Each structure stands twice: as structure tokens, then as C-alpha cells.
């Protein structure tokens, strides 16, 4: 393949990575923004979403689309409830103290991961995509005979991958409407701005925290259900999304939602493109190091406001 089509293929892969990443990172960002909690167990909620999707599709059987459709709704709900429960039982008791929350969520990480290992097992298990048509893509070239459209061999994608990108966009818009146009969203934003004042105005801050923690975990699980037909479900699969989501949230500015979206696009696209053309390990080294540097020299991130 020539450079142009190759680049296009890499960008498409990057767009799929970005789509999943934006959902996962959004969950992390909302939780940090509203609760000021760094949730290290976020990657495990992602993994749980994928594992639940496998259980649901296997349990239901039948046409892959049926199981997948159910999983798309049920898995995020279950994971969200579990997270809200964990918030009630653990995080609330330690008063959301920043250091202790990190330690507690590290503990949650191991509990979720190892429980999955004991029940689901160490194998990677696939979930069948609801639909998976191979779509060849055209490439436009300005050759000797003027403008020509060619169909280069290997330049193709699947309908499912396009669906993932579309679904992420829809969810993002829904989330935006939810946060800016509904009463619950208003309450969440009020809690984010000043939890004490919100409490004084009768906002049940404790409940809002549980809801937000559940919502964040649910978003990660949703991203995982979408990714599981492309990448298999495995008990250690939460590690990479956690690091990437961290990177995105930091680059975008902790708690800044528009920043998160932009950073997810930036990181996802460059991850897709760099790892096609260079060694994936080198790409990761550069990305991780750059993020640490961003945090050192610009702790508020690219779009973040200065920390209160």
C-alpha cells in the first residue's frame, strides 16, 4: 500500500481508538471534576463491562445482535450500580480524602480484577459483533489521466467500526444534553462548582456523589461493551485504558470536559497513527513521558483552569 491509503487506514483505526477512549476518559473526568476523586479502579470498571458483555451474550445466545443490544444497556447499568455501591460502602466512609481514596481505589482495582480472574478465568474470550460487513474504501488520486478513484487492496474497514465511532458521538451528545439541559445535570454542575454551597441549597451531595461515581463507571463499561467485539474480553484488559484515560484527562485538564474530548481525539489519533508507523512501545514511552512533562510544567492541563 502507498503512504496515502496507509495513513487513511491508520487514521480510521485512530478514530476507533479515540471513540472508545473518549467515553472511558469522560467517565474519569466527570468523577474527578465533581468529586475531586482520582479513581484508580476506573480501568477495572471498563474490564467488568467487557466481561459482563461476554456473559450476557453467551447467556442469551441467539442472534449476536440480540445479546449485544441487551449487553449495551444492561452491562453499564450493572457496573454503574456496583460503583455506586462501592462509593457508599468505601469512599463515603473515608470522606473522599484524596490520599486515602487513591489507596482505597487501588484496593478496589485488585478486588475486582482478581474476583474476575477467579470466576471468569484467565482466558481472553471473544464477543461476536452484531454486524460486521467489510467495506472497501475508495482512494482518490490525481494521476496522469486526471482525477481518478481507485480501490486500493487492503484499504477497508468494517461497518461495526463505523458504528462504534457513531455510537460514541451519540453518547457524547446525550451526555452533553444531560449535563447542560436537565435538572440532574444542573445539580451535578452545582456540586462540582462548590459542594458546600450546593449542600446549603438543599442538594443531597452524598447522593450526587454516588450517582456521579456510578455514571463514570457506567461510561467506562459502555466503552468496553463497544470495544469487546474488536478486542477480546480479558481480566487484565483494564490496565491500558486506565493509563490512556489518565493521560487524556491530564492533557485535557483535570475536570474539563471539552478538554477531555479534544485530548481523547489527539491521543487516540496519534496512538493509532504512531503505532502503525513506529514501534508501539516507543510510541507509549514518548506519550507517557510527555504527559508527565505536561503535568510538571502545566499542572492544570491544556484547557484546565488553575487549580482552586
Partner 1 sequence: MTSFNKSNLLHFGVLAGLVILFFILPTYHVGVLSRVMVMAIYAMGFNLLFGYTGLLSLGHAMFFAAGMYGFGLAIKFGGFPVPAAFVVGVLSAALLALVVGLLALRTAGVAFMIVTLMFAQTAYLVVLYFGKYTRGDEGFILQQAERSLFGLDVTTETGRYFTAFTLFAVCFIALAKLVQTPFGKRLVAIRENEERARMLGYDAGRYKLYALVISGAVSGLAGVSYALLFGYVGATFSTVQYSIFPLLWVLLGGAGTTIGPFIGVLFMFYLIDISSGYTNAYMLIAGVVLVLLTVFAPKGIAGTLKARVFPWMP
Q: In whole angstroms, what is the distance from residue 122 CA to residue 234 CA?
A: 7
Q: In whole angstroms, what is the distance from residue 38 CA to residue 41 CA?
A: 9
Beta carbon of residue 250, minimum distance to partner 1 (angstroms, whole number): 7
Site membership for partner 1, residue 297 (CB under 8 A): yes
Q: In whole angstroms, what is the distance from residue 9 CA to residue 158 CA?
A: 12
Contact indicator for 249, 303 with CB cutoff of 8 Å: no
Contact indicator for 32, 254 with CB cutoff of 8 Å: yes
Q: Give the 3-state secondary structure of 205-266.
A: HHHHHHHHHHHHHHHHHHHHHHHCCCCCECCCCCHHHHHHHHHHHHHHCCCCHHHHHHHHHH
Beta carbon of residue 164, minimum distance to partner 1 (angstroms, whole number): 27
Beta carbon of residue 162, minimum distance to partner 1 (angstroms, whole number): 32
Out of 94, 170, 173, 177, the only residue in the binding site for partner 1 (CB under 8 A) is 94
- Which one of the spans 148-156, 158-166, 176-184, 239-247 is the region binding partner 1 (CB under 8 A)? 239-247
Out of 6, 88, 100, 189, the only residue in the binding site for partner 1 (CB under 8 A) is 100
Beta carbon of residue 286, minimum distance to partner 1 (angstroms, whole number): 9
- Which one of the spans 142-150, 180-188, 194-202, 291-299 is the region binding partner 1 (CB under 8 A)? 291-299
Q: Report the run of H or E that residue 141 belongs to, with start and end.
A: strand 139-143
What does the binding site for partner 1 look like in residue numbers (CB under 8 A)?
Answer: 38, 90, 93-94, 98-100, 102-104, 106-115, 117-118, 243, 246-247, 250, 279, 281-282, 284-285, 288-289, 291-293, 295-297, 299
Amino acid at each position: 500500500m502507498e503512504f496515502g491509503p496507509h495513513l487513511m487506514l491508520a487514521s480510521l483505526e485512530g478514530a476507533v481508538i479515540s471513540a472508545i477512549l473518549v467515553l472511558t476518559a469522560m467517565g474519569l473526568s466527570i468523577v474527578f471534576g465533581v468529586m475531586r476523586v482520582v479513581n484508580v479502579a476506573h480501568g477495572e470498571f471498563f474490564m467488568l463491562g467487557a466481561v459482563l458483555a461476554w456473559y450476557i451474550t453467551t447467556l442469551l445466545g441467539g442472534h449476536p445482535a440480540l445479546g449485544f443490544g441487551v449487553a449495551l444497556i444492561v452491562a453499564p447499568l450493572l457496573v454503574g450500580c456496583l460503583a455506586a455501591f462501592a462509593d457508599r460502602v468505601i469512599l463515603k466512609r473515608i470522606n473522599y480524602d484524596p490520599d486515602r481514596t487513591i489507596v482505597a481505589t487501588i484496593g478496589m482495582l485488585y478486588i475486582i480484577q482478581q474476583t474476575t480472574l477467579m470466576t471468569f478465568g484467565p482466558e481472553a474470550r471473544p464477543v461476536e459483533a452484531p454486524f460486521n460487513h467489510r467495506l472497501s474504501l475508495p482512494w482518490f488520486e490525481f494521476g496522469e489521466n486526471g482525477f481518478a478513484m481507485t480501490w486500493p487492496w487492503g484499504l477497508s474497514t468494517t461497518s461495526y467500526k463505523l458504528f462504534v465511532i457513531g455510537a460514541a458521538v451519540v453518547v457524547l451528545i446525550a451526555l452533553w444534553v444531560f449535563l447542560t439541559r436537565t435538572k440532574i445535570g444542573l445539580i451535578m454542575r452545582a456540586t462540582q462548582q462548590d459542594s458546600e454551597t450546593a449542600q446549603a441549597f438543599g442538594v443531597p451531595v452524598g447522593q450526587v456523589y454516588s450517582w456521579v461515581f456510578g455514571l463514570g463507571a457506567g461510561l467506562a463499561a459502555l466503552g468496553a461493551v463497544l470495544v469487546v467485539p474488536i478486542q477480546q474480553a480479558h481480566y487484565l484488559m483494564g490496565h491500558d485504558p486506565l493509563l490512556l484515560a489518565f493521560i487524556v484527562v491530564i492533557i485535557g485538564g483535570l475536570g474539563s470536559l471539552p478538554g477531555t474530548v479534544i485530548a481523547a481525539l489527539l491521543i487516540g489519533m496519534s496512538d493509532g497513527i504512531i503505532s502503525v508507523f513506529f514501534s508501539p512501545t516507543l510510541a507509549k514511552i514518548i506519550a507517557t513521558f510527555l504527559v508527565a512533562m505536561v503535568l510538571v510544567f502545566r499542572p492544570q492541563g491544556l484547557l484546565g483552569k488553575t487549580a482552586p
